[in-house]
Structure 1
Amino acid sequence: MRNLAVIPARGGSVRIPHKNICDFEGRPLISYSIEAAQKSGLFDMIMVSTDDEKIAAVAREWGAEVPFMRSAELSDHYTGTFAVTKDAVLRLENECHQFFDSVCCIYATAPLLTPKYLKEAYELFVSSHADSVMACCEFNFPVQRAQYVDDDHCPHPFMPDCMPMRSQDLKKAVHDAGQFYFYAKNRFHPVDKHQEVVRVFELPRHRVLDIDTPEDLALARVMFRAVKELGLD
Structure 2
Amino acid sequence: MKIAVIPARGGSKRIPRKNIKSFHGKPIIAYPIEAALKSGCFEQVIVSTDDPEIAEVAKGYGADVPFIRTPELADDITGTNAVVADAIRQIGINTGEACCIYATAPFVTVEAIVKGLETLKDSNSEFAVTVTSFPFPIQRATAVNANGMLELNESEHRMTRSQDLPEMFHDAGQIYWGTVEAFLQDKPLFSGTTAPIVLPRHFVQDIDTREDWVRAEAMYEVLHSQGAFK
Output the CA distance in 1 between the equivalents of 2:128 and 2:120: 6
Show the counterpart of 1:61.
Answer: 60
Query: What do residues 154-205 of structure 1 show as CA deviations (whole Å, max 9, x unaligned)?
Result: 1121211212222111110001111111111221344xxxx86221111111
Structure 1 stretches (4+) deviating beyond 4 angstroms? none
Report if the CA contact (8 A) 1:4-1:100 is conserved: no
Q: 1:119 to 1:79 in 2, by over 3 A?
A: same
- Residue 199 of structure 1 pairs with residue 198 of structure 2: no
Show the counterpart of 1:5.
Answer: 4
**Of 90, 97, 104, which residue of structure 2 is paired with 1:102?**
97
Secondary structure in 1 matching 2:64: coil
Once the two structures are TM-superposed, the CA of residue 122 in structure 1 deviates from its matched residue by 0.9
- Residue 41 of structure 1 pairs with residue 40 of structure 2: yes
Which residue identity lines up with residue 175 of structure 2 in the other structure? F
Which residue identity lines up with residue 195 of structure 2 in the other structure? R
Show the counterpart of 2:211.
Answer: 215
Secondary structure in 2 matching 1:188: helix
TM-score, normalised via structure 1 length: 0.92
Once the two structures are TM-superposed, the CA of residue 231 in structure 1 deviates from its matched residue by 3.6
Q: 1:230 to 1:163 in 2, by over 3 A?
A: farther
Which residue identity lines up with residue 7 of structure 1 in the other structure? I
**Of 98, 107, 122, which residue of structure 2 is paired with 1:112?**
107
- Residue 17 of structure 1 pairs with residue 16 of structure 2: yes
Output the CA distance in 2 between the equivalents of 1:100 and 1:110: 26
Report if the CA contact (8 A) 2:131-2:172 is conserved: yes
What percent of counterpart residues are identical? 43
Output the CA distance in 1 between the equivalents of 2:58 and 2:80: 18
TM-score, normalised via structure 2 length: 0.93
- Residue 179 of structure 1 pairs with residue 178 of structure 2: no
Report if the CA contact (8 A) 2:134-2:169 is conserved: yes
Output the CA distance in 2 between the equivalents of 1:69 and 1:196: 33
Report if the CA contact (8 A) 1:134-1:182 is conserved: yes
Show the counterpart of 2:118.
Answer: 123
Output the CA distance in 1 between the equivalents of 2:192 and 2:181: 10
Output the CA distance in 2 between the equivalents of 1:142 and 1:197: 24
Which residue identity lines up with residue 26 of structure 2 in the other structure? R
Q: Which residues of structure 2 form unaligned runs of 5+?
A: 186-190
Once the two structures are TM-superposed, the CA of residue 149 in structure 1 deviates from its matched residue by 0.9
Report if the CA contact (8 A) 2:85-2:184 is conserved: no
Output the CA distance in 2 between the equivalents of 1:86 and 1:136: 22
Q: Which residues of structure 1 form unaligned runs of 5+?
A: none
